């Protein structure tokens, strides 16, 4: 049982390049999330998808786009990377339940933008 799988694990980009972070879950969860983690700031929500076909902005959506490809997959795209987007990105999934369901996290993508 893999849980939540993120690819790639590490990536270095140059300013202005684009890339897509991939996330897939095999727990049949409806809800999926993208977070970024920066030192001393906990995790901040970028986008979430309550169910297949829907996406909503979180706390820090600027500079990002998402696609909920199907129930399993939720990708995050940086169209024109900026140094401020250097961070560790986590994907998570959960059952529906208005916030009282725990989230299951991938191991993260460490992204550096030069």
Per-residue three-class SS string for the chain: CCCEEEECCEEEECCCCCEEEEEEECCCCCEEEEEEECCCCCEEEEEEECCCCCCEECCCCCCEEEEECCCCEEEEEECCCCHHHCEEEEEEEECCCCCCCCCEECCCEEEEEC
Residue 72 or 104 with smaller CB distance to other proteins = 104
| CB 41 to other proteins: min, Å | 6
Task: State the residues that interact with other proteins by CB under 8 A.
Answer: 4, 40-45, 90, 92, 98-100, 102-108
Q: Shortest Cβ distance from residue 9 to other proteins (Å)?
A: 9
Question: 85 vs 109, which CB is nearer to other proteins?
Answer: 109
- In whole angstroms, how close is the CB of 45 to other proteins at the nearest point? 7
Task: Rank residues 40 and 53 by Cβ distance to other proteins and give the closer one.
Answer: 40
């Amino acid at each position: 049982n893999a849980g939540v799988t993120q690819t790639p694990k590490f990536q270095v980009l140059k300013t202005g390049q684009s890339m897509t972070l991939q996330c897939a879950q095999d727990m049949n969860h409806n809800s999926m999330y993208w977070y970024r983690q920066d030192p001393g700031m906990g995790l901040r929500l970028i986008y979430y998808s309550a169910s297949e076909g829907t996406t909503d902005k979180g706390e820090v959506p600027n500079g990002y786009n998402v696609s909920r490809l199907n129930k399993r997959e939720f990708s995050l795209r940086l169209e024109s990377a900026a140094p401020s987007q250097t961070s560790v990105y986590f994907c998570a999934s959960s059952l529906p339940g208005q916030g009282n369901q725990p989230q299951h996290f991938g191991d993260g993508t460490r992204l550096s933008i030069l």
